[in-house]
Structure 1
């Protein structure tokens, strides 16, 4: 297992966590076995929000067994009163359901207490003024919520929530389909704005847990993919992990077979993780931007091209720490020899020698 550190609090989080949207199709025994095997493999981050109520009790039992070793996302606004998942901005049922979820795990705290699935201004206004916001703040103050978090598909809503400066984690939908096409209501915003948002998360020290990394499975099926070809789970996971601010990717699973498919990521070769095939799929009219994927490596001059671009983008929006990280690199943009090796390998059409000249001029090094 690989781990990343949550900027606020220093928690070590497994880069692959576990979503639970598909667990309603598994038996209780399979649900518990899936969680047990995930923890044994080093997975320590779990989202406690299945798409039906059926697996809640089994998930609660399994998570309780591993309570000291796992981080659990518990949402304020998810409902299961009718047996299927629903959501609300009404404080009374949202709070009652949140507390029932804690009771199901047999715990008195949530590692991450989520303001749940806010995509519209009106819904956020109801949360802010209708009791959920005050409840979440109070529970964070008394330790019932260790880290405050939110989930959204909207860059605009994410920015409104980031502006409150109270969050440690954001759950955001991230995959190539949402970034490069308009095929889904979940993929809101142009790719440049979505990338800018991820840099804003990183600058604010707010970690990102990725939902929908496979676009609900569409990217894994050539017949459903908007790109006309299938990507692998490994490619989609790597795509998400390469983005700024991301600490963990939470694919949904139906049972142990899906879990084993996810864990194969750690045995994958660099070639199997390579998603540069997207260069032949994404609209070429989109502005060429470095996404820090490092497909351009190795640089003949020894430059860490992805890091150089990342620190530059963050420094330009005022992140002095990123600027300092750039200055401390062993090699800087001004040492680019302009050989074009990176241009030939870049799946997103970035002309890096020109970019390196721009970065060198900015830093004056």
Structure 2
């Protein structure tokens, strides 16, 4: 395993971590995966799952080797009904935090993350006096959180939190689809804005843990890749690790087989790690596929068409958390006015009206 030192501390973080969003419902199988990851040198674990059962697997897997693992616990991810939910309710967050510490068998978390802050309104509420951020700072003062951080998909949000001077590490989506220079804007923020964020983090000594390295699995299949060609797990991992400030990449795994595929990166040859093939891709590769470029904005109905499409694609690829992110949007696919505005402006000729009907039926809204 390869390790990178956290700029603001002594921790050495494995370049391959473990994302927990896809861990199986079977607790014993999840425990087996976590234990196998530790045995293979993985020491960084994100603790946000799509369903509650896998959370019970960490305690036994960590038993006797707490000093060998680094935990990334999210404040705002809740599991009251057994499934992932998002909240800014401080009472619910405190209740979930107490449950987490007890269930994981830990008395502190190495990284405490403000969970999934994607709008400035949500951030304002989190940073308000007596809000979630103040609560997390109090836990840090008590030693229950060793490093503060956050997860977000929005570069502007990331900058505001980094400017507090309190953030040591944050979680961000990085992959060729979101950053690809010739293909327009992927995820949130254009390529220049995103790259400037990575560079500024490196200068400021703030690390990044990477989520969605495979774009929810889309990049691994030529049929779903916006490039019309599949990339490998190793190419995507290397791409993310080559970005400034990146400490670790957190692939989601469903099985021991998935874990071994991700861990192949460690022994991969230079040729296997080479992702220069993306230089051959052109925007024409994405014809008819929504690449979340936002050229359709502003929508007359106020829909965030790109995010609606993104969460649908991620859900289709098996990301259980995507449905929760979709439901958090103010407007949904069913609010489409069918005015034709987005289709007239789309450079990739996506039949967006029909697609939004499909998305509305899929999510039931």
Which bracket does the TM-score occupy, shorter chain normalised?
Answer: 0.7 to 0.9
CA contact (8 A) 2:185 2:191 kept: no
The residue that corresponds to 1:79 in the other structure is 78
Measure how far apart 1:231 and its partner are.
0.3
CA distance in 1, matches of 2:189, 2:98: 34
Q: Secondary structure at the match of 1:261?
A: helix
The residue that corresponds to 1:58 in the other structure is 57
Per the normalisation by structure 2, the TM-score is: 0.75
CA contact (8 A) 2:147 2:168 kept: yes
CA distance in 2, matches of 1:182, 1:70: 38
The residue that corresponds to 1:229 in the other structure is 229
CA contact (8 A) 1:214 1:233 kept: yes
Measure how far apart 1:11 and its partner are.
0.6
CA distance in 2, matches of 1:219, 1:164: 35
Deviations 1:151-179 (A, max 9, x none): 11000000000110001101010001111
Q: Secondary structure at the match of 1:168?
A: strand
CA distance in 2, matches of 1:75, 1:13: 18
CA distance in 1, matches of 2:86, 2:65: 27
Measure how far apart 1:83 and its partner are.
1.4
CA contact (8 A) 2:108 2:145 kept: yes
The residue that corresponds to 1:146 in the other structure is 146
The residue that corresponds to 1:271 in the other structure is 271
CA contact (8 A) 1:75 1:115 kept: yes
Q: Secondary structure at the match of 1:247?
A: strand
* Structure 1 residue ranges without an equivalent (≥5): 285-365
Q: Secondary structure at the match of 2:167?
A: coil
Question: Cα gap change, 1:190/1:282 in structure 2, threshold over 3 Å: closer, same or farther?
Answer: farther
CA distance in 2, matches of 1:190, 1:90: 32
Which consecutive segments of 4 or more residues in structure 1 shift more than 2 A?
63-66, 180-184
CA distance in 1, matches of 2:211, 2:62: 20
Measure how far apart 1:82 and its partner are.
1.5
Measure how far apart 1:122 and its partner are.
0.4
Deviations 1:164-206 (A, max 9, x none): 000110101000111124686xx10111110000011111101
CA RMSD, 1 decimal:
1.4
Question: Cα gap change, 1:64/1:93 in structure 2, threshold over 3 Å: closer, same or farther?
Answer: farther
* Structure 2 residue ranges without an equivalent (≥5): 285-365
Q: Which residues of 2 match residues 31-180 of structure 1 at below 5 A?
A: 31-129=30-128, 131-180=131-180
Question: Cα gap change, 1:12/1:282 in structure 2, threshold over 3 Å: closer, same or farther?
Answer: farther
Q: Secondary structure at the match of 2:7?
A: coil
Per the normalisation by structure 1, the TM-score is: 0.75
Q: Secondary structure at the match of 1:74?
A: strand
Q: Which has the larger radius of gyration?
A: 1
Q: Secondary structure at the match of 1:73?
A: strand
| Number of residue equivalences | 281
CA contact (8 A) 1:24 1:51 kept: no
CA contact (8 A) 1:61 1:104 kept: no
Measure how far apart 1:24 and its partner are.
3.1
Q: Secondary structure at the match of 2:222?
A: coil
Task: Note if 1:192 corresponds to 2:192.
Answer: yes
CA contact (8 A) 1:173 1:212 kept: yes
Q: Which residues of 2 match residues 306-325 of structure 1 at below 5 A?
A: none
Measure how far apart 1:61 and its partner are.
2.5
CA distance in 2, matches of 1:63, 1:178: 34
